[in-house]
Amino acid sequence: MERSVEIIMVIRDRLEYTKKAIESLVKQTYFDRFNLTIWDNDSSEETKNYLRGSVWARYPFVRDVIFSEENKPLSEVTNTLFLKSNSDLIGKVDNDVIVPPDWLERCVKAHETYDDFGFIGGFHFLPEDIANLKPKIDTFNGIDIWRKGHIGGCSFIIKRKDFVDIGLIPTSDKILMGLSEYQHIFHKHGKVNGYLWPLIWVDHFEDVRSPNHIDNPEYNDYKWACRRMSIAEYSDRHRKNSEKYLNNNLEKEVGK
């Protein structure tokens, strides 16, 4: 029997990003047993009105839209929604990402084929970032994967039973969550994290190289609230850190 999948998307304004992310997720996901749960983290009335109106009317895959009266940490929200889910597979797609047409089907097939796959999902870098790399590709039950200790959090799928068995994402008062460290815990439990090969390319709008990137005060304020840096500073750091991250082997990445 085909596994059921629930995707969560946590939103805090950035309405133009949100519209593109939801539209691409719904239009480019052809998996029949797929539901989307949206959590609004106390956005503006304009964003809330869009979620109350257009989303419910246009997208039958939207299972629920939850409106929070405060901006809660992502770890807390993610734990809450994953615990409520009764789907076999659970995951998160951010509201600043465009996913490709086959992304979910490939992730579901991988999880169905090999029980010890952990965090697998989209690759949020650009071809130029890996132009000089020759990644080591491993194969599990015929599924090729570039193994990494963590893959970020902008688009991923895991098995809900692993989330239940391994435990909740550590929570804190921070708006952002320590998802990289949590993925390392999956690795230590014998789970295989990484990027399916060929890569599932996603467009991450916060990278200033993205054709969908928006540079305005509202979006800069959002990044400052989350990271205490501007979008330009974040994007520059992202490019510098990505070189080290992409070149690290698995053992070095997880501290072994």
CB atoms under 10 Å from CB of 101, counted, come to 11
Looking at residue 171, what is its pLDDT? 78
Per residue in 95-118, pLDDT (tens digit) is 999 999 989 999 999 999 999 999
Q: Which of 55-59, 75-79, 90-94 has the lowest mean pLDDT?
A: 55-59
Percent of the chain with pLDDT over 70: 93
Rounded CA-CA distance 219/39 in Å is 19
Looking at residue 172, what is its pLDDT? 65
Looking at residue 221, what is its pLDDT? 76
Asked whether the beta carbons of 63 and 6 are under 8 A apart, the reply is yes
Average confidence (pLDDT) over 213-223: 80
- Higher local confidence (pLDDT), 212 or 221: 212
Alpha-carbon torsion (195, 207, 16, 230), positive or negative: positive
Structure tokens at 219: 């979006």
Rounded CA-CA distance 175/221 in Å is 14
For residue 174, pLDDT beyond 60: no
What is the band of 255 on the pLDDT scale with cuts at 50, 70, 90?
Answer: low
Q: Using omega within 30 degrees of 0 as the cis cutoff, is the peptide bond preceding 198 cis?
A: yes
Asked whether the beta carbons of 58 and 130 are under 8 A apart, the reply is no
Average confidence (pLDDT) over 200-221: 88
For residue 21, pLDDT beyond 70: yes
Q: In 3D, which of 115, 208, 190, 202 has the Cα closest to residue 156? A: 202
Say which residue the tokens 């993925």 belong to.
183
For residue 227, pLDDT beyond 70: no
Looking at residue 192, what is its pLDDT? 98
Q: Using omega within 30 degrees of 0 as the cis cutoff, is the peptide bond preceding 170 cis?
A: no
Bridge partners of 117, per DSSP, are 192
Mean per-residue pLDDT over the chain, rounded: 90
Q: Which of 76-85, 170-179, 205-214 has the lowest mean pLDDT?
A: 170-179
Structure tokens at 13: 């304004």
Q: In 3D, which of 27, 246, 61, 17 has the Cα closest to residue 154? A: 17
Question: Which domains does the chain possess?
Answer: 5-253 (3.90.550.10)
Looking at residue 235, what is its pLDDT? 74
What is the band of 247 on the pLDDT scale with cuts at 50, 70, 90?
Answer: confident
How many H-runs (helices) and E-runs (strands) does the chain carry?
10, 11
Per residue in 104-163, pLDDT (tens digit) is 999 999 999 999 999 999 999 999 999 999 999 999 999 999 999 999 899 999 999 999
Rounded CA-CA distance 47/175 in Å is 19
- Residue 36: phi and psi, rounded to 5, are -120, 125
Alpha helix (H) residue ranges in 204-254? 217-227, 231-247, 250-253
